[in-house]
Chain A
Amino acid sequence: AQKITQTQPGMFVQEKEAVTLDCTYDTSDPSYGLFWYKQPSSGEMIFLIYQGSYDQQNATEGRYSLNFQKARKSANLVISASQLGDSAMYFCAMRDTDKLIFGTGTRLQVFP
């Protein structure tokens, strides 16, 4: 069965610094997709970045980049130049046919 593991319940980072949020996954499918979502206290899941298993390059979206290491089955999210507004829960997810399987999330707190 497919599984997503996020081992960091909480992370702290100072404003303007970079931070890496860890995600490992388990799947036997050769084709899969990996996602990161941000969930502020308001509750809405905000799509950040996507990485396909066959993509040759790591995905980037503005200040977000995905460090995809296929052999290690890891898909870590890197946020550069952290901002106070980045404080939120962050979820890693994997596509399983037509649904998403989520990890337990990491709470990121950015301090001045």
Chain B
Amino acid sequence: DAGVTQSPTHLIKTRGQQVTLRCSPKSGHDTVSWYQQALGQGPQFIFQYYEEEERQRGNFPDRFSGHQFPNYSSELNVNALLLGDSALYLCASSPGLAGAWDNEQFFGPGTRLTVL
């Protein structure tokens, strides 16, 4: 049973470019959350997708957008990249609504984005 998978593993972009990161949730999970982890910090919540809709959003600008597909996989898009967007981007999957996943929010290996 595959866990949460993310692609690509590493990515290098230049300022102003756009990037798309991908995540496939753990089998049986239908909710995907994205987190940004800057160097030396804890992960920060970006947004969450459930039933193909953005259900909750953290304090991130509109340059960060996402999508969830019918098979529950998800994409994170970042437009007009800034140097400060360099970070590890983590995807987490869980089964459904809060309270049902307390022991089951699992993270993928992350995508390390470097913006030059």
Contacts and interface: CB of A to CB of B under 8 A. Distances in A.
Interface of A: 4, 33, 35, 37, 42-47, 50, 52, 91, 93, 95, 97-105
Interface of B: 31, 33, 35, 40-45, 48, 55-56, 58, 88, 90, 92, 97-98, 102-103, 105-110, 112
A29 to B, nearest CB: 11
A35 B92 CA distance: 14
B56 A98 contact: yes
A93 B109 CA distance: 18
Contacts of B110: 43-44
A99 B48 contact: yes
A99 B42 contact: no
Contact of A44 (B44, B48, B107): B107
A101 B45 contact: yes
A42 B42 contact: no
Contact of B109 (A33, A44, A95): A44
A85 B7 CA distance: 26
Given A47-B103, A98-B55, A101-B45, 14 more contacts: A43-B109, A43-B112, A44-B107, A44-B108, A45-B107, A50-B103, A95-B98, A99-B33, A99-B48, A100-B33, A100-B45, A100-B105, A104-B42, A105-B42
Contacts of B97: 98
A104 B39 CA distance: 10
B103 to A, nearest CB: 5
A57 B12 CA distance: 47
Given A104-B41, A105-B42, A99 B58 contact: yes
B45 A33 contact: no
A103 B98 CA distance: 20
Among B43, B98, B109, chain A packs the most CB atoms within 10 A around the CB of B43
